[in-house]
């Protein structure tokens, strides 16, 4: 909880800051208690806010549009810096696309298509933004961010740095940013010329598959578990007989067992208890330890 002096300073720096903001309003899971402070930030504001927090020994959390995120029912200590609609600039130059971290992936792939630039077709239906996608090296339908990423500009330890994709340790749901205290600010993507009609045909097919196979009609964090080596989490969960398993308002989707959904009144606690049930059952039946892909943040 911020004291009155910190609240005053933050309010002076950022006119749109909110205090005790329910995080359920800012996650695709629609769960989560209050953050001490919540700020939608552009590049300048994000850097200024992080440096203020470091100077005043305040914890801070970076989020995007709230997908792939599970927030504690007890909320989040410190300041949540939301890199979303206030950081969404983008432009194409030749075969390169320059995008700020808050740009939605759907808009990124649409820009690429309109410029007849291929390589980002897979990203069109992913419910996240550029920064989050780089943070976790998001991927779908055979494509990954690392396949098209050229470089990233980010804040770290008081400096603005730029690193090439090769320097960022990008692997399956893995990157440099998961292990270092950074704010991704902007990215450059290298694309390949391709006819717009072919790009749009692939994008439409990927979106059709998502609608057909994923429970998009319910709040969720996306695929809940990482893919275990040599197998698929959803397949193991389904074969363990867990489709439709519930704890409170949380349910293993009956449409795709790799998704945990919020049926309408789920809490973070419900979701974590259901996760534990799934992990334990799959381990007992198949000897496979499932690992959460969704990022948990907040008070324990």
CB–CB of 67/59 below 8 Å? no
Among candidate residues 173, 186, 220, 253, the one labeled active-site is 173
Among candidate residues 121, 223, 251, 275, the one labeled active-site is 223
Q: Among positive and negative, which fits the CA dihedral 170, 171, 172, 174?
A: negative
> Active-site residue 72, yes or no?
no
> Active-site residue 175, yes or no?
no
Both tokens of 220, joined, read: 């969720």
Both tokens of 134, joined, read: 């780089």
> Active-site residue 173, yes or no?
yes
CB–CB of 269/73 below 8 Å? yes
Q: Rounded distance, CA 21 to CA 25, Å?
A: 8
Among candidate residues 45, 144, 251, 293, the one labeled active-site is 293
Q: Rounded distance, CA 143 to CA 203, Å?
A: 12
The residues annotated as belonging to the active site are: 173, 223, 293
């Amino acid at each position: 909880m911020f004291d009155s002096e910190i609240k005053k300073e933050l309010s002076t720096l950022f006119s749109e800051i909110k205090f005790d903001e329910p995080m359920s309003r800012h996650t695709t899971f629609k769960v989560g208690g209050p953050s001490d402070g919540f700020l939608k930030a552009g590049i300048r504001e994000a850097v200024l806010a992080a440096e203020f927090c470091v100077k005043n020994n305040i914890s801070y959390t970076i989020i995007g549009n709230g997908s792939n995120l599970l927030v504690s029912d007890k909320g989040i200590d410190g300041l949540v810096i939301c890199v979303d609609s206030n950081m969404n600039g983008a432009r194409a130059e030749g075969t390169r696309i320059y995008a700020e971290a808050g740009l939605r992936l759907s808009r990124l792939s649409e820009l690429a298509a309109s410029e007849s630039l291929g390589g980002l077709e897979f990203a069109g239906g992913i419910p996240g933004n550029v920064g989050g996608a780089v943070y976790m090296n998001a991927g779908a339908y055979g494509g990954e961010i690392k396949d098209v990423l050229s470089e990233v500009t980010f804040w770290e330890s008081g400096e603005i740095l730029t690193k090439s994709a090769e320097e960022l340790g990008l692997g399956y749901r893995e990157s440099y940013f998961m292990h270092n205290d950074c704010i991704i600010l902007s990215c450059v993507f290298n694309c390949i010329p391709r006819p717009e009609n072919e790009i749009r045909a692939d994008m439409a097919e990927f979106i059709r598959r998502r609608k057909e196979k994923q429970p998009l009609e319910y709040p969720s964090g996306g695929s809940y578990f990482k893919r275990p080596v040599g197998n698929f989490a959803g397949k193991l969960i389904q074969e363990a007989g867990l489709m439709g398993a519930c704890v409170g308002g949380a349910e293993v989707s009956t449409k795709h067992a790799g998704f945990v959904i919020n049926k309408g009144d789920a809490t973070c606690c419900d979701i974590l208890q259901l996760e534990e049930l799934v992990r334990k059952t799959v381990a007992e039946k198949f000897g496979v330890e499932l690992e959460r892909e969704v990022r948990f943040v907040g008070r324990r």
